[in-house]
A and B are shown apart, each in its own frame.
Chain A
């Protein structure tokens, strides 16, 4: 699976949009971009995933660049409860290796 690079930490003001970047320059054509988050003392939580088109759900939006070498997770109106570590993961769902590999992620702190 391709590796990802994320900033170790970011801050965001409550009510503003949080834009979390991720670089995955070695991503291959059949690999998806997944985002998870882990709120303190809880298990990781799935947020969103995409292949090449932008995606939106009730939690967030995912913007993937045309060359697929980077992506941005957008939380449109961050709340204090969005403070968590956010993980960007590249995953080959068609492969035989059925495991998500977590990196260090980005600690997003939403400030009042």
Chain B
């Protein structure tokens, strides 16, 4: 079983559309994250949820809205997509006080 699974793996969409990326972890972790990796390969954290509560919200446009229906799921909804949103988005999870993150395989978003 995949520990952290993201869907879809690839997403191609037009500017202005709204899209969602889903993430699920079956590790029993309390904390989940979204990271963005741009074309220059920098990995930057966007959000973190602990037990369904938002604990980290980096400087991210409010077009991005994370939602955590339970501690095993953290979805990312993006409104009014822009060209600059094209990137690979990684979901991850960890125990609260640990830094042993388990990452998903990523969602490659392409905005055209």
Contact = CB atoms under 8 A, between A and B. Distances in A.
Interface stretch (B13-21, B42-50, B75-83): B42-50
Instruction: Say what secondary structure dominates the interface of chain B.
Output: strand
B102 interface: yes
- The range of chain A's interface size is 20 to 34
- The range of chain B's interface size is 20 to 34
Nearest to B41: A85
B48 A98 contact: yes
A101 B90 contact: no
Given A44-B90, A93-B97, A93-B98, A101 B45 contact: yes
B55 interface: yes
B68 interface: no
Nearest to B4: A43
Interface string A81-102: 0000100010101100111111
Given A43-B92, A91-B99, A98-B96, 11 more contacts: A32-B99, A43-B103, A44-B90, A44-B101, A46-B100, A46-B102, A49-B100, A89-B99, A99-B48, A99-B56, A102-B42
The 7 closest A-B CB pairs, nearest first, are: A43-B103, A102-B43, A91-B99, A99-B45, A44-B103, A46-B100, A43-B90
24 contacts: A32-B99, A34-B99, A38-B43, A42-B105, A43-B4, A43-B90, A43-B92, A43-B105, A43-B106, A44-B101, A46-B100, A46-B102, A85-B41, A89-B99, A93-B97, A93-B98, A98-B48, A98-B50, A98-B94, A98-B96, A98-B97, A99-B33, A99-B45, A102-B43
